[in-house]
Amino acid sequence: MSKKLLFILVTVMVLLLAIVIWLFLKVSDTGSTVASPASPYSAVYLSTGEIYFGKLSWFPRPKLSNVWFLQRSSGGANQPGLNLLPFKSVIWGPESELYLNSKDIVFWTKIRADSQIIPLMNQGSVNPNPSPAPTQPK
């Protein structure tokens, strides 16, 4: 065989292998048994006990974009104990992307389209009863 023909054959085999792997990942990703259609959002539970929500991608490493998180509040009996906040709203001003260490991910799941948090994330709003902001002493 000539070198040119061998190069073409190897290139075609590599492309076919890449397509097969992509199809396998695509099929295994959409093989959900949930009756409700999935939204583009996922929930990620970390070993630290934190739960983050956002659009999850895995390559080249786990990353959440449009990130939201649950903040526990110690409100009264009439206030909910959790607030859903955008990640970019924390005091140190991060972007709305979060790169995750795969070793810290306990589990992840896709969020159903009929989940109660989807409208909150799409509208950019937070819990209707957020904790009061801390006041500065005079």
What pLDDT sits at residue 131? 45
Tell me, yes or no, whether 9 lies in a domain: no
What pLDDT sits at residue 132? 46
Token pair, residue 55, equals 């659009």
Helix (H, G, I), strand (E, B) or coil at 69: strand
Residue 66 domain boundaries: 56-87+94-130
Q: How many domains are contained in the chain?
A: 1
What pLDDT sits at residue 11? 93
pLDDT, block means (10 residues), the chain with 138 residues: 86 90 68 61 92 90 89 69 82 85 91 86 59 47
Amino acid identity, position 61? R
Task: Tell me if the bond preceding 137 is cis, omega within 30° of 0.
Answer: no
Cα dihedral sign, 88-94-97-101 = negative
Amino acid identity, position 136? Q
What pLDDT sits at residue 128? 42
Tell me, yes or no, whether 116 lies in a domain: yes
What pLDDT sits at residue 125? 53
Tell me, yes or no, whether 44 lies in a domain: no
Please, are residues 85 and 25 in contact by the beta-carbon 8 Å criterion? no
What pLDDT sits at residue 27? 62
Tell me, yes or no, whether 78 lies in a domain: yes
Please, are residues 65 and 113 in contact by the beta-carbon 8 Å criterion? no
Tell me, yes or no, whether 103 lies in a domain: yes
Token pair, residue 58, equals 């895995």
